[in-house]
Amino acid sequence: MHGSGSLRRWRLSATLLALYVGLVLLPVALAAVQGLEARPWRDELATGLGLAGFTMLLMEFLLSGRFKRLSAQVGQDRVMQFHQVMAYVLVGFLLLHPFLYSLPMGDTPPTVPPGEEWLRLPLWPGLTGMFAWVLLAMLVFMAIARDELPMRYEAWRISHGLGALLIALFGLHHTLEAGRYSQDVWLTGFWVLAVLVAVASLIHVHVIIPLRQRRYPLRVATVRQEAERTWTVELEPDTEAGHPGSPFPYRAGQFAWLKLERPLFRITEHPFSIASAPAQWPRIAFAIKEAGDFTNGIGELAQGTRAYLDGPYGHFTLDENDARPLVLVGGGIGMAPIMALLRELRARQSHRTLVVVQTNRSTAQQLYTAELEDLTRELDLRVHYMLSDPPEDWNGLIGLPDATLVQQVVRLPLQDCVYYLCGPPAMIDTLEHGLLSRLRIPAGQVVSERFRYTLGTRRGSSTRLLTAAIGSALVILAGVAWFAVR
Ligand SMILES: Cc1cc2nc3c(=O)[nH]c(=O)nc-3n(C[C@H](O)[C@H](O)[C@H](O)COP(=O)(O)OP(=O)(O)OC[C@H]3O[C@@H](n4cnc5c(N)ncnc54)[C@H](O)[C@@H]3O)c2cc1C
């Protein structure tokens, strides 16, 4: 049964990739069928890269949008990783785009003699193209150097969204006014529609979702310290403020964007895995580790603080038709969604065999030890603790989790188990790589959730994602090359 789930997921991913490539190449095809006289191949290549690159830029809005079903099927971290890889590709296309027109090459004379009008463009389309180009270079620099920049993540996120919107609008003006092929009614229609969809996706995230959230106000019910610099925050519906009392419809293991109405944090929202099981409604719990501006203040959160949720998102969920043993590895705060899965299994009185490995740096960071102890009496559950910096009297596991640890603790036929991994991206990459490449566990039996949207160490599932993204980029490039030499 689980196999059919992973096959469905594989088919969906392949369909979405094909759709992506098809949409990116659509304006190239619409240009090709216009029957205009072909120019030297490098002019056509420049145009083709511009057409494909601009479409990819508009698709980035959709990739960073919030689509619950997509997130539940493919995983939000994968979608965001794809967003990042394609950003590099489109930036390469668009940064090359103006240079290919003007650089002299071999025996082909430049199409624009030096000293004439800049790229033979009228003033405004020339300027909007240049603004879009410079802004794009800035946006890329700010995305790569994000962690080093002296700005809060929220400020970066807003500047990233606004910058991308400006590039899209400048790019649209440039494309419609300067584009040789974009004078065609079909291509004009395509661009206008694509920009509208991109803007609609921004409006959906920043206007529609917040407005809809207002109908479901929650309040902070309790805040308690769970471990060193880690807090459990429980929310409940604020029926006095108009919450209809209907349950938040999530599956154990999913995450939501949490917004707290604190003066300093009015416009900020952050993703957190839900640590409670749906059966625990009307309470909904998060385990939050101090990591920066927003999370450092969680311990001082007042009871009754107004909260809103957007979600649920994510695919870190159980296949209800599957009875195979589960191996759940939680690194640090990565235990939060694993706890939700265990609480759900307890609510369902599950008989599945469960092996949990909780890994931390020190004992002060360990989470839910008492509850896990209780759960071992209610479920067919074994719990192992691992520390990378253990005290002298420690008699648990020592080190960082990898495939050897899995072989050591699971004590079941490894191919029969389904693996759930949550924690720092480096931990997930190492474990995925070990499970898939060394232990030959089928990819459909490994489910993971990353708490940071990075390309990671390019191992594990990141390798497959990179292969899919690079494969898509190559197909697009082949389409553009065909356009250039046709
Ligand atoms: C799917 C998912 C589930 C998560 N679940 C948990 C959880 O259960 N418990 C927990 O403690 N942490 C969780 N996190 C991480 C948590 O979102 C960040 O630690 C938190 O947002 C940090 O915010 P800050 O302002 O305190 O720190 P900052 O210093 O602003 O951010 C630290 C880092 O956190 C990430 N981050 C910050 N804000 C956002 C944002 N709005 N959107 C996406 N990433 C952001 C960025 O990578 C940033 O570099 C999860 C993250 C994701 C993506």
Average pLDDT, the chain: 89
Using alpha carbons, select from 45, 398, 58, 42 the residue that is nearest to residue 198: 58
Decide if 462 is inside a domain.
no
Q: How far is the CA of 246 from the centre of ligand 1 (A)?
A: 27
Decide if 224 is inside a domain.
yes
Across residues 191-203, what is the average pLDDT? 94
Residue 452 scores a pLDDT above 90 = no
Residue 463 scores a pLDDT above 80 = no
Residue 146 scores a pLDDT above 90 = no
Nearest CA to ligand 1 atom 48: 153
Across residues 12-35, what is the average pLDDT? 94
C-alpha–C-alpha distance, residues 237 and 247, integer Å? 9
Domain limit, last residue, from 313, 334, 359: 313
pLDDT-derived band at 152, boundaries 50, 70, 90: confident
pTM score, two decimals? Answer: 0.89
Which tens digits make up the pLDDT trace of 230-251? 999 999 999 999 999 999 999 9
Residue 359 scores a pLDDT above 50 = yes
Is the CB of 271 inside a 6 Å radius of any atom of ligand 1?
Answer: yes
Residues 125 and 270 in one domain: no
Residues 374 and 272 in one domain: no
Nearest CA to ligand 1 atom 24: 292
Residue 431 scores a pLDDT above 70 = yes
Residues 131 and 240 in one domain: no
Per-residue pLDDT, 2: 47
Site to probe by mutation for ligand 1, drawn from 157, 226, 270, 339 as the one with most ligand atoms within 8 Å of Cβ, is 270
Adjacent-strand bridge partners of 108: 105
Residues 136 and 182 in one domain: yes
> Where in the sequence is the domain holding 230, given as residue range(s)?
216-313
Decide if 5 is inside a domain.
no
Across residues 36-42, what is the average pLDDT? 87
Q: How far is the CA of 394 from the centre of ligand 1 (A)?
A: 31
C-alpha–C-alpha distance, residues 236 and 238, integer Å? 6
Across residues 140-162, what is the average pLDDT? 87
CATH value at residue 301: 2.40.30.10
Residues 299 and 200 in one domain: no
Give me the sign of the Cα torsion angle 36, 40, 42, 46: negative
Is the CB of 454 inside a 6 Å radius of any atom of ligand 1?
Answer: no
Is the CB of 285 inside a 6 Å radius of any atom of ligand 1?
Answer: no
Decide if 397 is inside a domain.
yes
Across residues 293-307, what is the average pLDDT? 92
Q: Which of the listed ranges 200-209, 259-268, 269-278 does the model predict with the highest average pLDDT?
A: 269-278
Using alpha carbons, select from 307, 183, 173, 167 the residue that is nearest to residue 233: 307
Going across the sheet that includes 446-450, the strands are: 397-398, 380-387, 353-360, 326-331, 418-423, 446-450
- The fraction of the chain above a pLDDT of 70, given in percent, is 91
Residues 176 and 270 in one domain: no
Is the CB of 156 inside a 6 Å radius of any atom of ligand 1?
Answer: no
Domain limit, last residue, from 249, 278, 313: 313
Q: Which of the listed ranges 47-56, 117-126, 435-444, 445-454 does the model predict with the highest average pLDDT?
A: 47-56
Residue 111 scores a pLDDT above 60 = no
Lowest mean pLDDT among 115-124, 143-152, 208-217, 347-356: 115-124
Domain limit, last residue, from 268, 290, 313: 313
C-alpha dist (Å) from residue 347 to 236, 275, 277, 292: 19, 14, 8, 34
Q: How far is the CA of 271 from the centre of ligand 1 (A)?
A: 6
pLDDT-derived band at 188, boundaries 50, 70, 90: very high
pLDDT-derived band at 474, boundaries 50, 70, 90: very high
Residue 120 scores a pLDDT above 70 = no
Across residues 93-110, what is the average pLDDT? 71
Task: Check residues 118 and 340 and name the one with the higher pLDDT.
Answer: 340
Lowest mean pLDDT among 34-43, 101-110, 203-212: 101-110
C-alpha–C-alpha distance, residues 84 and 91, integer Å? 11
The first and second tokens of residue 365, run together, are 């960071």
Q: How many domains does the chain have?
A: 3
Across residues 29-42, what is the average pLDDT? 91
Ligand 1 atom at shortest distance from the alpha carbon of 271: 17
Per-residue pLDDT, 4: 57
CATH value at residue 448: 3.40.50.80
C-alpha dist (Å) from residue 112 to 116, 432, 478: 7, 52, 26
Residues 126 and 200 in one domain: yes
Per-residue pLDDT, 322: 86
Residues 261 and 346 in one domain: no
pLDDT-derived band at 116, boundaries 50, 70, 90: very low
Nearest CA to ligand 1 atom 37: 153
Decide if 464 is inside a domain.
no
Site to probe by mutation for ligand 1, drawn from 209, 451, 454 as the one with most ligand atoms within 8 Å of Cβ, is 451
pLDDT-derived band at 115, boundaries 50, 70, 90: very low
Site to probe by mutation for ligand 1, drawn from 76, 144, 146, 153 as the one with most ligand atoms within 8 Å of Cβ, is 153
Is the CB of 287 inside a 6 Å radius of any atom of ligand 1?
Answer: yes
Q: What angle do CA 261, 263, 269 make, to 5 degrees?
A: 50
Q: How far is the CA of 451 from the centre of ligand 1 (A)?
A: 7
Residue 40 scores a pLDDT above 80 = yes
The answer to whether the CB of 313 falls within 8 A of the CB of 254 is: yes
Residues 273 and 149 in one domain: no
Decide if 110 is inside a domain.
yes
Decide if 461 is inside a domain.
no
C-alpha–C-alpha distance, residues 417 and 408, integer Å? 14
Across residues 434-458, what is the average pLDDT? 83
Site to probe by mutation for ligand 1, drawn from 335, 452, 454 as the one with most ligand atoms within 8 Å of Cβ, is 452
The answer to whether the CB of 308 falls within 8 A of the CB of 439 is: no
Using alpha carbons, select from 437, 483, 484, 485 the residue that is nearest to residue 460: 437
Per-residue pLDDT, 462: 66
pLDDT-derived band at 104, boundaries 50, 70, 90: low
Residue 481 scores a pLDDT above 80 = yes
Is the CB of 273 inside a 6 Å radius of any atom of ligand 1?
Answer: yes
Residues 26 and 169 in one domain: yes
Residues 77 and 180 in one domain: yes
Decide if 445 is inside a domain.
yes
Residues 72 and 125 in one domain: yes
